[in-house]
């Protein structure tokens, strides 16, 4: 007799209390292995795949794509110890999922905390999002578009997935990004009506945005789903995620949730709790740019300018460690760190994220360049883990990439300071007693006035400026 276990949305760490379902990776009736990812969710910090600690047959799913679920809410139920039934059995399971039920023939539902000792061998323990739940996580065999499928595999798919026949009739949609699917869903766009511009006709975000802009210009609506397209039925009582909606003429309301909501909460908390102050200085970056050019001309991996600025920051923090700290408001103590976990602001399609380079003080320019590139790409693709977005002790913000000279950064709570770097542009500058055209950059430092006074902040910023103007100054501290 099969035992049905209920898998709930696990604690995602870092104080996260809810997540939005982006894409289901399994269907009702699918056979899943222990530690196989079953759903892709987006939290306020990252997009992650959630692995299931049980192996068996999926009997129910809870929540449509776009639904926000709190931690502890049911995700799926799995019949442990049962083989996939014929198509009729799958249909029965699908019916229970549609109605929100989670029953299976001859089995009763149990949560993870209620499973018996006999079923404990089927599970692998606590879920560690991003790492699986055991040493050898299993992966479900997935059929890729355009890849031939053997007759046996196709028959098995029809047995396990009651909707496989309809999917084969319509053909797979050539899109792999959950962000593209969500954008299309929120605007009522049928992806089957689009021709992708990516490799092998892959539908990209640019393709969806182009169609939406064209529809807006012409005053028409975007292509909607055809009548034969199956309409998803609700599988739980959780409220569906609300897309961007036009409330009235000239008024558009966008819910503050996900990444945007997390950014709003953090900035609001920073302004509310941190008594910040800002100082700034212009610096002649001509010699720094020449040094970088010489380093890259010597061969080997190219060195990013951000990596050189990061090396300057870590050297400055070694001299002024008060700025590499945080304030414990409850204990009324300043907590100073002996390591530098350097955050850097990165603008992505999903919003502003601040990935963290661990132990930046122990890295050279080449290592920093590689890590900046890796984390930036992960931010653009939405694959940053919560661990890569938290734990920073100081933030470097290069807003010069937006073509602006200066800014007053808002501190990344709970850190104590942030260094802002503007664009580097040719400007008139007095150099060695004569007026010359030099590469000038504006540097700004916003700091928590509780951890230090203006003298310390000014000393830090002046040292950074000296290293920018004369990179040889940095060599004396290495």
Q: Which residues are catalytic?
A: 449, 453
Tell me the torsion sign for CA atoms 268, 273, 279, 285.
Answer: negative
Helices 365-381 and 305-319, axial angle in degrees (round to 10): 110
Chain-centre distance of CA 253, in angstroms? 23
226 to each of 97, 172, 189, 190, 201, how far by Cα in Å? 25, 15, 10, 8, 20
| Residue appearing with tokens 């299309």 | 184
Nearest partner of 340 among 355, 359, 322, judged by Cα: 359
Q: For the chain, give the number of residues.
A: 478
C-alpha to C-alpha distance for 28 and 37, rounded to whole angstroms: 14
3-state secondary structure 14-62: CCCCEEEEEEECCCCCCEECCCEEEEEEECCCCEEEEEECCCEEEEEEC
Report which DSSP code applies to 121: G
Which residue's entry shows tokens 């790492």? 131
Asked if 131 and 120 touch (Cβ cutoff 8 Å), the reply is no
Return the half-sphere exposure (C-beta side, CA atoms, 13 A cut-off) of residue 31.
12
Residues 30, 146: contact at Cβ < 8 Å?
A: no
Contact partners, residue 238, CB within 8 Å, separation at least 6: 62, 63, 67, 68, 69, 73
Question: How far apart are the C-alpha atoms of 174 and 184, rounded to whole Å?
Answer: 13
Per DSSP, the chain holds a count of helices (H) and strands (E) of 11, 22
CA 262, 450, 417, 410 torsion-angle sign: positive
Q: Burial-class residue 358 by CB neighbours within 10 Å (0-12, 13-18, 19+).
A: middle
* CA–CA distance, 13 with 21 (Å, rounded to integer): 17
- Of 342, 353, 405, 400, whose CA–CA distance to 376 is shortest? 353
344 within 8 A of 336, measured Cβ to Cβ: no
């Amino acid at each position: 007799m099969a035992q049905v276990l209920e898998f709930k949305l696990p604690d995602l760490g870092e104080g996260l209390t809810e997540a939005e379902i982006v894409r289901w990776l399994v269907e009702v009736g699918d056979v899943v292995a222990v530690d196989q990812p079953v759903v892709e969710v987006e939290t306020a910090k990252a997009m992650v795949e959630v692995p299931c600690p049980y192996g068996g047959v999926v009997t129910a799913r809870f929540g449509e794509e776009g639904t926000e679920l709190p931690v502890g809410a049911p995700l799926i139920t799995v019949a442990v110890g049962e083989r996939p039934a014929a198509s009729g059995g799958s249909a029965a399971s699908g019916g229970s999922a549609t109605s929100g039920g989670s029953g299976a023939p001859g089995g009763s539902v149990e949560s993870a905390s209620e499973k018996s000792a006999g079923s404990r061998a089927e599970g692998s323990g606590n879920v560690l999002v991003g790492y699986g739940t055991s040493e050898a996580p299993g992966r479900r065999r997935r059929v890729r578009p355009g890849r031939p499928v053997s007759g046996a595999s196709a028959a098995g798919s029809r047995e396990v997935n009651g909707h496989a026949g309809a999917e084969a009739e319509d053909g797979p949609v050539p899109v792999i990004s959950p962000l593209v699917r969500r954008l299309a869903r929120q605007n009522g766009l049928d992806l089957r009506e689009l021709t992708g511009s990516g490799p092998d006709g892959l539908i990209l975000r640019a393709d969806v945005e182009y169609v939406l802009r064209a529809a807006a210009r012409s005053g028409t609506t975007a292509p909607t789903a055809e009548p034969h397209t199956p309409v998803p039925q609700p599988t739980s009582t959780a409220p569906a995620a609300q897309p961007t909606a036009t409330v009235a003429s000239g008024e558009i309301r966008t819910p503050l949730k996900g990444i945007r909501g997390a950014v709003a909460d953090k900035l609001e908390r920073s302004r509310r709790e941190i008594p910040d102050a800002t100082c700034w200085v212009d610096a002649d970056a001509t010699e720094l740019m020449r040094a970088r050019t010489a380093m890259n001309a010597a061969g080997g991996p190219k060195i990013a300018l951000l990596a050189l600025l990061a090396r300057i920051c870590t050297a400055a923090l070694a001299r002024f460690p008060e700025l590499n700290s945080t304030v414990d408001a409850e204990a009324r103590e300043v907590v100073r760190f002996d390591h530098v976990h350097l955050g850097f602001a990165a603008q992505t399609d999903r919003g502003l994220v601040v990935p963290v380079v661990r132990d930046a003080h122990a890295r050279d320019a080449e290592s920093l360049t590689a890590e900046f590139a890796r984390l930036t790409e992960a931010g653009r693709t939405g694959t940053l883990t919560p661990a890569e977005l938290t734990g920073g002790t100081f933030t470097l913000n290069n807003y010069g990439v937006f073509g602006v000279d200066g800014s007053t950064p808002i501190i990344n709570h709970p850190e104590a300071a942030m260094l802002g770097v503007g664009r580097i542009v040719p400007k008139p500058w007095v150099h060695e007693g004569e007026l010359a055209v030099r590469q000038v950059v504006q540097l700004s430092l916003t700091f928590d006035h509780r951890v230090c006074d203006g003298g310390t902040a000014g000393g830090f910023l002046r040292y950074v400026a000296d290293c920018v103007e004369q990179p040889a100054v940095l060599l004396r501290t290495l």
